[in-house]
Amino acid sequence: MSTRRLLIAGAFLLPFAPLSIAEVRVSVEHRPDGSAFEFKSVPAPANNDAATKAEFTLVDGERDRNGGQLAVLHDGRVPTDEDEPAESYFFRAGTDGGRLQIDLGSVIAVKQVSTYSWHANTRAPQVYRLHAADGTANGFSAAPRKGTDPASCGWKLVASVDTRPKDGDGGGQHGVAVFDPASGVLGHYRYLLFDILRTEDRDAFGNTFYSEIDVIDVNGPAPTAATAGDGEPVVRSFEAAGGKYRFTLEATAAPDLMEWADTNLRPVVQEWYPKLVAMLPSEGFQAATNLSLRFRNDLGGTPASTSGGRVNMNSGWFRREREREALGSVVHELVHVVQNYGRARRANPNATRTPGWLVEGMADYIRWFLYEPETKGAEITERNLARAKYDASYRITGNFLNWVVQNHDQEIVRKLNAAAREGRYAEQLWREWTGKTLPEVGEEWKKANEDRINAARPKVDQEKTDVSAK
Ligand SMILES: [Zn+2]
């Protein structure tokens, strides 16, 4: 599916210029499954355009610290993934966009302005107004904040852009080109001002992940394409369940890990992904059939993460853990791919949010008790008993869920998953399925662990008493 729209703006902004009526055209293209910033009506991102050396300034709004600096918008590099915060610029979660100014250094004949973005869902589309100025108008303000109409201080509105599709959340790659097909010159400008809005306010994550902004100079060099990735691609593909599921394994960022991954990780994925899908069904749900597993060097302290059907693996951590925790961590991430709880909230604004401790606890229950029970990696012992709270997340919640499976309801994980995926998780369900409130089941589990640990303690005090009594 691809949506294209043409908007005309600016035609009536020049009151007395019948011989040079600007006809600004905005080409918009959306590639839901795009991965290479290849569009039909929008040129590929460039790395030698006039924006490359321009000065970018945040005029209003706040950068999200999880994302890159303004430099990522004109470094001639595009992200290689739909969820690559470090390679994207976006405004802080919960805020409504902001304003960015570009100073090209001098007035140039601007041929075209292009913007590119990429995300899995609502942070992909672009909503902004583009203003431009040569900086010579009386009362020109180079940095008008929100609340000041740029038209009142020497700017001209060039285009209004809104790439949100009518249906769906717009996930994928978006490319926008603003140009004047008739004259070939958009205008003579030194400054550009992007007045950027968020795409939605249903949750805090409506600010677009912008990948790159290009400004093409009529008199500049022929554009050369921006680069993506870390070098020669190191990729292998494989299938599972007789071709029903397809995987790409990418080790471009860590070629030394490919052999280990192909030998050790691939069979685990081939065996376990279909198992997880079968284990966690819900009505009408189809789990992702195309997945990617990618080594990355930019995950900081996070061992692995998941976004949609993409599993990111921290190269450094996997190198250290390949004989220990690496395979289990991928099973955990594959559970997240199958869970897919974000979809309920995207489809239904009234969907309930499943608490994070439960989402992680389910993934760790499956990992530690079904995938690798022999490692006993999620036991409650004397050492961690004090921290044993049902909502302590990860392994501890995993242990709690295992106990509930054994003592109350063998189907509880399947049922919790279906409720969470359909956006109808509620604490009340625990009562329905176990006859007790969630805190009561939690207490029961904790007590059972205390009793077991106490029973196993050597009865030193008892023996002493017996000895002294003799
Ligand atoms: Zn997790």
For a pLDDT cut of 90, what percent of the chain falls above it?
A: 75
Q: Determine the distance separating the centroid of ligand 1 and the alpha carbon of 314, expressed in angstroms.
A: 14
Q: Determine the distance separating the centroid of ligand 1 and the alpha carbon of 363, expressed in angstroms.
A: 6
Q: What is the pLDDT of residue 461?
A: 56
Q: What is the pLDDT of residue 143?
A: 96
Angle between helices 412-421 and 326-339 (to 10 degrees): 50
Strands 227-228 and 77-78: parallel
446-465 residue pLDDT tens:
999 999 999 988 766 555 54
218-238 residue pLDDT tens:
998 888 777 665 567 889 999
Q: Determine the distance separating the centroid of ligand 1 and the alpha carbon of 211, expressed in angstroms.
A: 26
Whose CA is closest to 156, among 118, 181, 130?
130
Q: Are 314 and 345 in contact (CB under 8 A)?
A: no
Q: Are 171 and 82 in contact (CB under 8 A)?
A: yes
Mean pLDDT of 51-71: 91
Mean pLDDT of 377-406: 97
Query: Is 80 exceeded by the pLDDT of residue 318?
Result: yes
Q: What is the pLDDT of residue 79?
A: 85
Query: Is 90 exceeded by the pLDDT of residue 298?
Result: no
Whose CA is closest to 49, among 175, 197, 221?
221
Q: Determine the distance separating the centroid of ligand 1 and the alpha carbon of 53, expressed in angstroms.
A: 40
Q: pLDDT band at residue 469, thresholds of 50, 70 and 90?
A: very low
DSSP helix/strand/coil, 162 = strand
136-156 residue pLDDT tens:
999 999 999 999 999 999 999
Q: Determine the distance separating the centroid of ligand 1 and the alpha carbon of 233, expressed in angstroms.
A: 27
Phi-psi region of 465 (alpha: psi -120 to 50; beta: other; left: phi over 0): alpha
Strands 210-217 and 98-119: antiparallel
Query: Which residues are registered as beta bridge partners of 108?
Result: 189
Q: Determine the distance separating the centroid of ligand 1 and the alpha carbon of 241, expressed in angstroms.
A: 24
Residue 217 in tokens: 């100079």
Higher pLDDT, 100 or 53: 100
Q: Are 405 and 397 in contact (CB under 8 A)?
A: no
Mean pLDDT of 332-354: 91
Q: What is the pLDDT of residue 20?
A: 45
In eight-state DSSP terms, residue 222 is: P
Q: Determine the distance separating the centroid of ligand 1 and the alpha carbon of 357, expressed in angstroms.
A: 9
Q: Determine the distance separating the centroid of ligand 1 and the alpha carbon of 332, expressed in angstroms.
A: 6
Q: What is the pLDDT of residue 443?
A: 98
Q: pLDDT band at residue 299, thresholds of 50, 70 and 90?
A: confident
Mean pLDDT of 426-442: 97
Q: Determine the distance separating the centroid of ligand 1 and the alpha carbon of 422, expressed in angstroms.
A: 19
Separation CA 124–CA 127 (nearest Å): 10
Q: Are 249 and 293 in contact (CB under 8 A)?
A: yes
Query: Is 80 exceeded by the pLDDT of residue 10?
Result: no
Query: Is 70 exceeded by the pLDDT of residue 22?
Result: no
Q: Determine the distance separating the centroid of ligand 1 and the alpha carbon of 307, expressed in angstroms.
A: 11
Q: Determine the distance separating the centroid of ligand 1 and the alpha carbon of 139, expressed in angstroms.
A: 54
Instruction: Give backbone dihedrals phi and psi of 468, rounded to 5 degrees, phi first.
Output: -70, -20
Q: Determine the distance separating the centroid of ligand 1 and the alpha carbon of 274, expressed in angstroms.
A: 19
Indicate the pTM of the whole model.
0.57
Lowest mean pLDDT among 7-16, 330-339, 360-369, 421-430: 7-16
Separation CA 12–CA 20 (nearest Å): 11
Q: Determine the distance separating the centroid of ligand 1 and the alpha carbon of 95, expressed in angstroms.
A: 26
Query: Is 80 exceeded by the pLDDT of residue 1?
Result: no
Mean pLDDT of 47-71: 91
Whose CA is closest to 6, among 176, 215, 186?
176
Q: pLDDT band at residue 109, thresholds of 50, 70 and 90?
A: very high
- pLDDT, mean over the chain: 90
For residue 250, the one-letter residue type is E
Find the angle CA(47)-CA(236)-CA(286) to the nearest 5 degrees.
95
Q: Determine the distance separating the centroid of ligand 1 and the alpha carbon of 295, expressed in angstroms.
A: 17
Q: pLDDT band at residue 426, thresholds of 50, 70 and 90?
A: very high
Measured in whole angstroms, how far is the alpha carbon of residue 334 from the centre of its chain? 16
Lowest mean pLDDT among 77-81, 218-222, 247-251, 441-445: 77-81
Q: Determine the distance separating the centroid of ligand 1 and the alpha carbon of 90, expressed in angstroms.
A: 24
Lowest mean pLDDT among 129-138, 202-211, 226-235: 226-235
For residue 310, the one-letter residue type is R
